[in-house]
Amino acid sequence: MKLPVRSVLFAGLICGAISVAPFKSRVAADDVPLYGYSAESSRVERQWEEKLRAIPSAENLRAYMQRLSARPHNVGSPYDKDNAEWIASRFKEFGLDTHIETFNVLYPTPKERLVELVDGGPHFRAKLQEPVVPEDPTSNQTAEQLPTYNAYSIDGDVTAPLVYVNYGLPEDYEVLDRRGISVKGAIIIARYGHSWRGIKPQVGAEHGAIGCIIYSDPRDDGYSGGEVFPKGPYRPPDGAQRGSVQDSSVFMGDPLTPGVGATADAKRVAIKDAQTLTKIPVLPVSYADAQPLLAAISGPVAPRNWQGGLPLTYHLGPGAAKVHLKVFSNWDIKPLYDVIGKIAGSTNSEEWVIRGNHHDAWVNGAEDPISGMVAVMEEARALGELVKQGWKPKRTIIYCAWDGEEPGLLGSTEWVETHIDDLRKHAVVYINSDSNGRGFFELEGSHTLEHFINDVARDVQDPETKLTIWKRAQLREIESAKSPEASNEVRNRHDLRLEMLGGGSDHAPFINFAGVASLGIGFGGEDGGGIYHSIYDDFYWYTHFSDTKFVYGRALAQAGGTSIMRMADADLLPLQFTDFADDVKMYVTEVKKFSAEQREEIRRKNQEISDGVYEATSDPRQTWVTPKPQELPPHINFAPLDNAVETLERSSAEYQKVLERLSANGGAALASASVAEVNALLMQSEHKLTTPEGLPGRFWYKHELYAPGVYTGYAAKAIPAVRESLEQKKWQQAEEAAARVAKVLQNEAQLIADAAVKLSAIH
Ligand SMILES: [Zn+2]
């Protein structure tokens, strides 16, 4: 369900100005052994990697996509199972030891849907139907298409005045408060974007709303971005975005089996006790359906930055506009089919290198998720090919095609929860992909893997510019840097910083719940559009408007395959800690800065309130409510975090020094058997960043460095226990969290120091 951030952020971005330099032969770089390898093992590895990167074929990617997206394949549909079986047969054919693992999960599908305007304008009943497009050959598979809906909305039948809440974020309600507008007892209409969609009904319900309509504004992914489908890639008037609205702030996965695998005999809570269903009924609508509703809303004119792209003046409400919203679902238990394929490790078979992408979609899902899935399949084929040629990976490689990602990361979460004990012992890394498109290589993940994935990116060529995908990503970051300091850093720092992993795809159970070091990789930025989670996300759209020649699919298979091989073959696990310590330091600096700015902001606002600024500058002919003064936050003690960062910097520098000494003159010691003890320690390094109890009130999110924000959903927050306590103005909790996270970082520093001692004893 990965949100195509790029299509919103980079819509219209044209990158014509990049100078095209030939792809440099890596002769010079080849002299430097790969990180975690002796000179000899590095030489052998590079030869195998070259062979690997020559294998993926664009024709195969295209053929896989055509097959997998030929019919709708949502959870529980016949073609979902059919696809799983087809992927399993391909994995077997490629030489992977493959099985399908099944789970049983709560998966609601729509039974009754109604949105009608009953007062305040001419009676109007929303179509809630995406029309067939004659040139698009799969858009007419109406019988198999899941109607437009938001999964895990509770059932409900409500009639109430309509209020426009912009994106429906907490700060939008501050604007409504200023205008004296309450959503208590109202139905809210929010536009898609700027948060995960499930946040909108959640925040609305917290403010007393009784129903929620989410619509796709043409300004965000419709005609303001470009021509609409089928003439162009953007959202047509009747296109709607399906999607899950499960409340993911406490846990992900099957709502009936929190924290444990949804196996046949699992203990399940009753549906009425399921914690992650919404509190109010929700339905998504297209902008054609939203227009008469928005036009009927009266009351104050919405602020300028709340105005969308429809040809009308957006008002806040409430007024005479009254809406009837009805949602009823079939609350069925449906099977999930996860495809799991293995290549056994030759020497370190108890160490698992895991790769995955989901195969289920809302409808045909050519982009989301098949564009990523086909690259992952082609990697599996390439690795199988190398095994036939005599390649023997040290570690066990596991390829996964997840089911049920769209409704709430169900397939990956239930698998991780089922195998949690094994994963904690054996998992080295999890590498995820989801939708893939044209453009820039996107690097996100655990910061101990920052150096590793940067190195991989230096060895893969961008198919259109012929730069390395690393160089192109670096130049894009320079171009979008917000300050001269930021752009200098990108220019001069050896490795590009990884973005944090948020919610929104199958890496989440691995990193947040299991504490397995994880990466998310893929391309994007040049493939704007508006077919996300609609019937138009299909083979016709993808082959006309996205990676039409599948060259970025090939590049993803090369990058993913190289990553898996290099991790599977390394003598010493290529985790690197000086980058990591530098990133942690940055996050600590950021959270301290946030705290100081928050304090200053509250102080300034309180001063303005007492100065009478609000009354004097608000139009006296309109209703304006002066905000109440807020409690000034106490100073928080960040010293434990500062101390932990220093310890972390020292131990990571020490580890690096020992490794460099060992690597000098060929690093033959790295290939010795005693390196196993160091690897055993390194494998625990990500898990060390978790706590058994998890974040405050969020037991499933155990990682103390990053988590998807409670009020952002997709976007991650760094040091979330501290950051979110500050945002929620829980000062004492923030201070306690700072001490707890500091302890976690001290433990991590100790592990790195122990690894350095063990490493220095090797010869
Ligand atoms: Zn997806």
C-alpha span between 624 and 174 (Å, rounded) = 12
Region 217-238: mean pLDDT is 97
User: Which amino acid is present at 310?
Assistant: L
Q: How far is the CA of 260 from the centre of ligand 1 (A)?
A: 23
Summarised one tens digit per residue, pLDDT across range 112-151 is 999 999 999 999 999 999 999 999 999 999 999 999 999 9
Q: How far is the CA of 406 from the centre of ligand 1 (A)?
A: 6
Bin 226: left if φ > 0, else alpha if -120 < ψ < 50, else beta: left
Region 661-689: mean pLDDT is 95
Pairing label, strands 427-432, 395-402? unpaired
C-alpha span between 247 and 394 (Å, rounded) = 41
Summarised one tens digit per residue, pLDDT across range 144-173 is 999 999 999 999 999 999 999 999 999 999
Residue 3 clears pLDDT 60, i.e. is over it? no
Q: What distances in angstroms separate CA 55 from CA 134, 380, 404, 559, one per listed residue?
A: 37, 11, 30, 12
Region 430-459: mean pLDDT is 98
**What confidence score (pLDDT) does residue 20 get?**
35
pLDDT band at 26 (very low <50, low <70, confident <90, very high): very low
* Strand-pair partners of 429: 353
C-alpha span between 212 and 210 (Å, rounded) = 7
Summarised one tens digit per residue, pLDDT across range 714-735 is 789 999 999 999 999 999 999 9
Residue 9 clears pLDDT 80, i.e. is over it? no
**What confidence score (pLDDT) does residue 712 get?**
79
Asked if 737 contacts 696 with a C-beta cutoff of 8 angstroms, the reply is yes
Residue 16 clears pLDDT 70, i.e. is over it? no
**What confidence score (pLDDT) does residue 31 get?**
73
Summarised one tens digit per residue, pLDDT across range 378-429 is 999 999 999 999 999 999 999 999 999 999 999 999 999 999 999 999 999 9
Summarised one tens digit per residue, pLDDT across range 269-308 is 999 999 999 999 999 999 999 999 999 999 999 999 999 9
User: Which amino acid is present at 41?
Assistant: S
Asked if 315 contacts 302 with a C-beta cutoff of 8 angstroms, the reply is yes
Residue 33 clears pLDDT 80, i.e. is over it? yes
C-alpha span between 320 and 623 (Å, rounded) = 18
Closest by CA to 713, choosing from 214, 146, 74, is 214
**What confidence score (pLDDT) does residue 7 get?**
36
Q: Cα torsion for 44, 48, 53, 54, to the nearest 10°?
A: 120
Per-residue DSSP letters for 372-406?
A: HHHHHHHHHHHHHHHHHTT---SEEEEEEEES-HH
Region 364-376: mean pLDDT is 98
Region 442-448: mean pLDDT is 97
**What confidence score (pLDDT) does residue 665 get?**
86
Residue 575 tokens read as 């985790």
Region 101-105: mean pLDDT is 98
Residue 653 clears pLDDT 60, i.e. is over it? yes
Region 320-345: mean pLDDT is 98
**What is the per-residue burial (b if ≥16 Cβ within 10 Å, else e) of 727-758?**
beeebebbbebbebbbebbbebbebbbebbeb
Residue 83 tokens read as 């696809």
Widest Cα–Cα separation across the chain: 83
Asked if 584 contacts 645 with a C-beta cutoff of 8 angstroms, the reply is yes
**What confidence score (pLDDT) does residue 5 get?**
42
* Strand-pair partners of 315: 301
Q: How far is the CA of 233 from the centre of ligand 1 (A)?
A: 18
Pairing label, strands 348-358, 282-285? unpaired
Region 36-63: mean pLDDT is 98
Summarised one tens digit per residue, pLDDT across range 185-198 is 999 999 999 999 99
**What confidence score (pLDDT) does residue 2 get?**
58
pLDDT band at 29 (very low <50, low <70, confident <90, very high): low
Cis amide linkage into residue 318, ω under 30° from 0? yes
Bin 301: left if φ > 0, else alpha if -120 < ψ < 50, else beta: beta
Per-residue DSSP letters for 499-560?
A: BPP-SSSTHHIIIIII---EEEEEEEES---S-TTSTT-SHHHHHHHSSTT-HHHHHHHHHH
Summarised one tens digit per residue, pLDDT across range 728-756 is 999 999 999 999 999 999 999 999 999 99
**What confidence score (pLDDT) does residue 753 get?**
98
If 0-12 CB within 10 Å is exposed, 13-18 middle and 19+ buried, where does residue 31 land? exposed
Region 215-229: mean pLDDT is 97
Q: How far is the CA of 505 from the centre of ligand 1 (A)?
A: 6
Per-residue DSSP letters for 324-379?
A: EEEEEEEEEEEEEEEEEEEE--SSEEEEEEEEEEE---SSS-IIIIIIHHHHHHHH
Residue 477 among the catalytic residues? no
pLDDT band at 336 (very low <50, low <70, confident <90, very high): very high
Residue of 45, 367, 378, 405 with catalytic role: 405
Closest by CA to 325, choosing from 262, 280, 383, is 280
User: What is the Cα gyration radius of the chain?
Assistant: 26
Give the dihedral sign, CA 562/565/569/575: positive
Residue 719 tokens read as 């040091």
Q: How far is the CA of 612 from the centre of ligand 1 (A)?
A: 50
Q: How far is the CA of 357 from the centre of ligand 1 (A)?
A: 8
Summarised one tens digit per residue, pLDDT across range 591-611 is 999 999 999 999 999 999 999
Q: Over the chain, what is the mean pLDDT? A: 95
Q: How far is the CA of 306 from the centre of ligand 1 (A)?
A: 29
Residue 644 clears pLDDT 90, i.e. is over it? yes
758's CB contacts (< 8 A; 6+ apart) are 677, 678, 681
**What confidence score (pLDDT) does residue 1 get?**
60
Residue 661 tokens read as 């000494």
